[in-house]
Amino acid sequence: MSPSAGSVRPLAALASGPLRGRIRIPGDKSISHRALMLGALAIGETVIEGLLEGGDVLATAEAMRAFGATVTRQAPGRWTVNGLGVGGLLEPEDVVDFGNAGTGVRLAMGLASNQATTVTFTGDASLRRRPMGRILDPLRRMGVQVLARSKDRLPLTLKGPDVALPIDYRVPVASAQVKSAVLLAGLNAPGVTRLVEPVPTRDHTERMLAAFGAAIEIETNADGERVISLEGQRDLKPQSVEVPGDPSAAAFPIVAALIVEGSDITVESVLLNPLRSGLLETLIEMGGDITIEKRRTVGGESVGDIRVRASRLRAVNVPAGRAPSMIDEYPILAVAASFAEGRTVMEGLGELRVKESDRIAAVAAGLAANGIACEEGPESLVVTGRTGTGGGRVTTHLDHRIAMSFLVLGLATADRVAIDDAAPIATSFPEFRDLMTGLGARFEELEPPAS
């Protein structure tokens, strides 16, 4: 089946008893994509432990095969990649389909641009609506030619230059995907590719490039901005990569435990990178009873076990500056805010309009369907807690995080919450339903609409 295909699976979440137990969530999605891609560029065998086996990452694994790398699933979560060297990827014989995976396709466009191959990329209906100009602009400056049916939207054909130009680039949006695409393209450009990042975003690409032996340096300039310099045309050395648990997946059981009365759960081995920890910070400010146990280092990243007990939450103002460190977590934060005393104000959310769905609109509509007071601004959301009791049906727009957020809502509202389609959850967190059920969550499958 192509990553873009699939059938609709409506699901309801029912009011649930206390959630109890310990769970281990799957590997981090961002790190999983990057491990496969850098593995494909390193000659020799890269071993990845704890790879997320969700649809998005599987699409990247398939793409790396299409580029000629040998990618093998040795055991659940344990994968090996035999790469082809920087500049050594082959031209795929067919269109490369990334399904729902924005990170996969944007980073792969950078990868494919550092050599003279012609590659056509596509994705599902959600991905074909998302803006690609932010990636294509710097790539064009590096010498890449772009052919598009519709302006800067997938499907797109990219023809890499014979010799890529290293560029100096100021990242105009707070986006780790843009930063990463330029760095990956810079890997095979002769000379130094230099990026200025005014607002720090997740740094997994930089960390992993350094671990694979790339010539990368990070400094802070006089204005306090991060400056990343990468010297191209250096070999990468294969690595053993241990992928820590995904904090963006952990967010769902964590919020569920805070809002379902009597809950007490522990989520093990979660990545605690400060550039990903905005949600935890916010939930603690809201009065969430959250403690980090056994803090340790795994594969160069800080991880810990997160213990969460049900809590009376109070509303907070979430500063715009925190958005990059919790950009994927606003839908589930809005669910937590639905149970907090007062008005939670979330600002600086412009980027949410161009995620897997328009997440500001999708969250506002979903909360309204469940009677929860919510004000939607162009770049903001305000949620007034304890105003609704559920009972709604939510449209998820092919967005896994909207689907999981509203299922979590339904575990704690008096009336059940239904979503139109649970299938996209498999893109990032295939074990979601089983793990949540194991903790005590109740779900009910609904009839799919007659086709």
Contact between 277 and ligand S3P (CB under 6 A)?
A: no
State the pairing for strand pair 168-170/417-419: unpaired
Contacts of ligand S3P in 389-418 (CB under 6 A): none
Q: Which of 46, 114, 177, 338 is the binder for ligand S3P (CB under 6 A)?
A: 177
Nearest distance from C-beta of residue 324 to ligand S3P, angstroms: 7
Is 235 labeled as catalytic in the residue annotation?
Answer: no
Q: Among candidates 80, 147, 66, which has minimal Cα distance to 108? A: 66
- Residue 97 burial by CB count (10 A; 0-12/13-18/19+): exposed, middle or buried? buried
What's the min distance (Å) between Cβ of 69 and ligand S3P?
20
Residue with tokens 């600086």: 348
Site map 306..345 versus ligand S3P, x via CB under 6 A: ---------------------xx-----------------
Q: Which stretch binds ligand S3P (CB under 6 A): 147-155, 173-181, 226-234, 252-260?
A: 173-181
Instruction: Name the residue nearer to ligand S3P (CB basis): 62 or 351.
Output: 351
**Residue span 19-38 as binding mask against ligand S3P, x where in contact by CB under 6 A, dash where not:** -----------x--------
Residue type, 23: I
Q: Give the contacts of 81 (CB within 8 A, at least 6 positions apart).
A: 35, 36, 39, 40, 42, 45, 46, 48, 64, 69, 70, 71, 72, 238
- Scanning residues 188 to 227, which ones bind ligand S3P (CB under 6 A)? 202
Q: Is 190 buried (19+), middle (13-18) or exposed (0-12) by CB count in 10 A?
A: exposed
Q: How far is the CB of 59 from ligand S3P (least distance, A)?
A: 14
Position 176 contacts ligand S3P (CB under 6 A): yes
Strands ordered across the beta sheet of 96-97: 96-97, 118-122, 156-159, 145-148
Smallest gap from Cβ 347 to ligand S3P, in A, equals 16
Question: Is 390 in contact with 260 (CB distance < 8 Å)?
Answer: no
**Residue 351 found at the interface with ligand S3P (CB under 6 A):** yes
Residue 257 structure tokens: 């435990």
**Looking at beta carbons only, is 10 or 110 nearer to ligand S3P?**
110
Binding mask of the shown chain, residues 75 to 114, with x at each position contacting ligand S3P by CB under 6 A: ----------------------------x-----------
What are the Cα distances from residue 296, in Å, to 154, 207, 238, 303, 350?
41, 17, 24, 5, 34
C-beta of residue 255 within 8 angstroms of C-beta of residue 383: no
Cα(373)–Cα(59) distance, rounded to whole angstroms?
38
Q: Which stretch binds ligand S3P (CB under 6 A): 142-150, 171-179, 266-274, 329-337?
A: 171-179
CA 314 from chain centre, in angstroms, equals 27
Residues that contact ligand S3P, how many (by CB under 6 A): 10
Angle in degrees, CA 323, 329, 333, rounded to 5 = 100
Cβ at position 321, least distance to ligand S3P in Å: 15
Q: Which of 135, 136, 199, 150 is nearest to 350 (CA)?
A: 199
Interface pick for ligand S3P out of 100, 114, 180, 405 (rule CB under 6 A): 180
Yes or no: say if 324 and 364 are a contact pair by the CB < 8 Å rule: no
Structure tokens belonging to residue 167: 């560029």
Which C-beta is closer to ligand S3P: that of 202 or that of 307?
Answer: 202
Q: How far is the CB of 325 from ligand S3P (least distance, A)?
A: 11
**Annotated active-site residue in 328, 399, 420, 421:** 328
Q: How far is the CB of 190 from ligand S3P (least distance, A)?
A: 26
With respect to ligand S3P, which residue has the nearer C-beta, 115 or 177? 177
Position 272: which residue type?
L
Cα separation, 369 vs 376, whole angstroms? 14
Region near ligand S3P per CB under 6 A, out of 174-182, 255-263, 297-305, 372-380: 174-182
Print the binding letters for residues 116-155 with ligand S3P: x by CB under 6 A, - otherwise: ----------------------------------------
What's the closest the beta carbon of residue 103 comes to ligand S3P, in angstroms? 4
Give the residue numbers marked as catalytic.
Answer: 328
**Residues found near ligand S3P in the complex (CB under 6 A):** 30, 103, 175-177, 180, 202, 327-328, 351
